[in-house]
Amino acid sequence: MKRRDFLKSVSGLAAAGAVTPAPAIWSAAKADARSETLLIVSESGPNNLDIHGVGTNVPGYEVSWNCYDRLISHEMKSGPGGVPYYDRDKFKPELAEDMNVGDMSVTFKLKKNAKFHDGAPVTAKDVKWSLDRAVSVGGFPTFQMGAGSLTKTEQFVVVDDNTVRIDFAKKDRLTIPDLAVIVPCIVNSELVKKSATEKDPWGLEYTKQQTAGSGAYKVVKWTAGTEVIMERNDAWAGGPLPKVKRVIWRMVPQAGNRRALLERGDADISYDLPNKDFVELKDSGKLNIVSVPYSNGVQYIGMNVKIAPFDNPKVREAVACAIPYQKIMDAVLFGLAKPMFGAAADKATEVAWPQPTKYVTDIAKAKALLAEAGYPNGFETTLSFDLGFAGVNEPLCVLVQESLVQIGIKTTINKIPGANWRTELNKKVLPLYTNVFSGWLDYPEYFFIWCYDGKNSIFNTMSYQSKAMDEFIHGAVDAAAVGNAAKYDTDVKGFVDLAFKDIPRIPLYQPYVNVAMQKNVSGYQYWFHRRLDYRALVKA
C-alpha cells in the first residue's frame, strides 16, 4: 500500500514488519490531502459544538476553542520541559485589537477586519449578545462566568459598533482571566437569532449542530460519536493563519488501536492513552511525546471530615502517613506525574499551588497516630473511586488498600460508575475516596475557593469547614483584588499550611497531560483547558 510507504518516507519510521505492496489505489490528490490534513484519534468526541449548550462535554470544548474567538487570549511562554505553555499573566488580543483596563471597567476595541464564517462583520452587538448568552443560559457556562464576577447582562455595554465596555460587579482579579477562558466566545448573533425560538431564545439547538463563530476553523462535517471534520477559515483575523488546512478527528474507542494507529504512522496525534503506553512509546523514540503537569490540578485521597472516624485530625494524619506514595508513582503512573508529597522537612511554604506536602510513607508513625486517636486496632471503611478513570484509580486504590491494612484500617473498594460519580460526590457521604480536581484559572485561591471553602461547593468533597481557612481564603481574594502582595502572600501560605496540617484531603500528585504525535508534527501548546489548539500545530 503506497500511502503507507509514503508516510514512512516522510516520518522516517522504520518498517514494523513486512509490508506486502498491494496494487495502488492511490492518487496524487490523495497524497496532497494527507499532507495538509491532521488526523487526530481519541477515545470520545463532542456531543455539542457549542460550549453554551446543555451538558456539552469536554471534547466539545476543543471544538469551541478552535472554531470560536474570544476578545482576548493568552500569550505563550516556555513551560516545563521547554513545551510552549500559556502565560497566565500575559494577555493578547484575539477579536479585540485593544484592551483598556480602567478602575471599574474594561473597554475593548474590536478588530475592523474580523468576520464570521458567513462573511458578516463581528460587531459590538455580537459581543454583547454572546456574553449575555453566556451569563443567561444557566448550567456550566453561567457558572464559569460567575467565577470571574460576570453575572449580569447589564455588565456588558455596547459603546459603539466597534467598542464594548465590560463593567466590573466588584474588584476581582479573576475577571480579566475569565474573559480568556473558553466560555466567553463570540457567536454570530444575527445568524443564530434566525433559528432562535420562544422555547430556545439563544438558538442553542442551531449552534449545537454547526459552528457559528469567527474562529480559525469551522466544522464542515460532524458525525456524532464517529468523526469531526474541520477546515481552516482562510479569512481568520484573530491571529496568524494556521498551517494545517484540514483537521479530521476520529473516535477510536480502543486504546490499543489508537497506539497501533500512531505507531503505524496512520494517525498524527492521540492524547488519551494509558500511562504505560506513553512510557513505552517514549522509550521507543519513534514518536514525539509531550508530558506536561495539569495546571492547578491534583489527584488526592479525600476523607469526609463529617463522618467518624475521619472527623478526628489524628486519624487523617495517620492515613496520610500510610499512603504508599512512591509505589503509586512507580507502579500506577510509571513516573508520568509530578509528586505532591515528601518535601524536605525544613522547606518553607511557597506562595504557589499545587505544592508538595511533607508527608512520606511511615507505617510506624501512622500506627502510633492511630493508637493516639483511640483506634489501636484500626477500623473498617470503604474506599471509593470513579470507574470512568479506572485505569489509574483502580490500581491506585488497591495499593492504598494494601497499605492501610498494615495499620489496621480494613477497606472495601467501592467502584462507582462514571455516570454515578458526581451524584455520589454531591451527596457527600463517601468516607474515603480518590479523586482529581483541576481549575482552569491557575490561581491558588481559585483552587481553595472550590475545594476548601466553608460554603462547601461540590468539590469540597470532604465537607471541610473551618473559620480560619475561610478567613485566609477570603483574605487572599481581597488582597489580590486590590494588589496587596504582602497580605496575599501571608494568606496563601496560611491556607496551604492549614490544609496540610488539618489534612482533610491528601495530595498525591499532579497528573500529566500526555500527547503523542508523529515526528513531523510540531507546535503543540499547553493550555489551561488541556485540549489541543490546532491553530499552532504544524505538519511538515
Partner 1 sequence: MLTMIGKRLMFAIPSLIGVIIVTFLLTRALPGDPAAYFAGPAASKEAIEQIRKKLGLDKPLIEQFFRYTNDLAHGDFGNSLTTGQPVATEIRNRLPASAELTLLGLVVSVMIAIPLGVLAATRPGSWIDHLCRVTTTAGVSLPVFFTGLVLVYVFYFRLGWSPAPLGRLDVFYSAPPHVTGFYLIDALIARDFETFRSALSQLILPAATLAVFSLAPIARMTRASMLAVLASDFVRTARASGLSRSTVIVTYAFRNAMLPVITTLSMVFSFLLGANVLVEKVFAWPGIGSYAVEALISSDFAPVQGFVLTMAVMYVLLNLVIDILYGVIDPRVRLEG
Picking from 182, 230, 284, the residue whose alpha carbon sits closest to that of residue 516 is: 284
CB of 35: closest distance to partner 1 in angstroms?
11
Residue 420 in the binding site for partner 1 (CB under 8 A): yes
Radius of gyration for the alpha carbons in the chain, expressed in angstroms and rounded: 25
Residue 276 in the binding site for partner 1 (CB under 8 A): no
DSSP 15: P
What are the residues facing 167 on neighbouring strands? 105
The residues in 36-95 that bind partner 1, with binding defined as CB under 8 A, are 37, 39, 41, 44, 46-48, 53-58
What is the total count of residues that contact partner 1 (CB under 8 A)? 63
Residue 377 in the binding site for partner 1 (CB under 8 A): no
CB of 80: closest distance to partner 1 in angstroms?
24
Q: Which of 201, 253, 335, 483 binds partner 1 (CB under 8 A)?
A: 253
CB of 423: closest distance to partner 1 in angstroms?
4
Picking from 299, 288, 304, 286, the residue whose alpha carbon sits closest to that of residue 332 is: 299
Residue 24 in the binding site for partner 1 (CB under 8 A): no
Residue 275 in the binding site for partner 1 (CB under 8 A): no
Classify strands 246-251 and 337-339 as parallel, antiparallel or unpaired: unpaired
Strand positions, DSSP E, 335-493: 337-339, 380-386, 410-416, 432-438
**CA–CA separation, 201 and 66 (whole Å):** 25
**CA–CA separation, 500 and 235 (whole Å):** 52
What's at 512, amino acid-wise?
Y
CB of 290: closest distance to partner 1 in angstroms?
23
CB of 214: closest distance to partner 1 in angstroms?
23
**CA–CA separation, 355 and 341 (whole Å):** 8
Residue 142 in the binding site for partner 1 (CB under 8 A): yes
CB of 234: closest distance to partner 1 in angstroms?
21
CA angle 497, 503, 508 (to 5 degrees): 95
Residue 374 in the binding site for partner 1 (CB under 8 A): no
State the angle between helix axes of 275-284 and 255-263 in degrees (0 to 180), rounded to the nearest 10: 10
Strand, helix or coil for residue 21: coil
Residue 538 in the binding site for partner 1 (CB under 8 A): no
For partner 1, the closer of residues 37 and 105 by Cβ is 37
Residue 196 in the binding site for partner 1 (CB under 8 A): no
Here the cell at position 492 is 496563601
Q: Rule CB under 8 A: which residues touch partner 1?
A: 1, 4, 16-20, 22, 25, 30, 33-34, 37, 39, 41, 44, 46-48, 53-58, 138-140, 142-144, 208-209, 223-227, 248, 250-254, 256-257, 260-261, 263-264, 266-267, 417-420, 422-423, 426, 450, 457-459
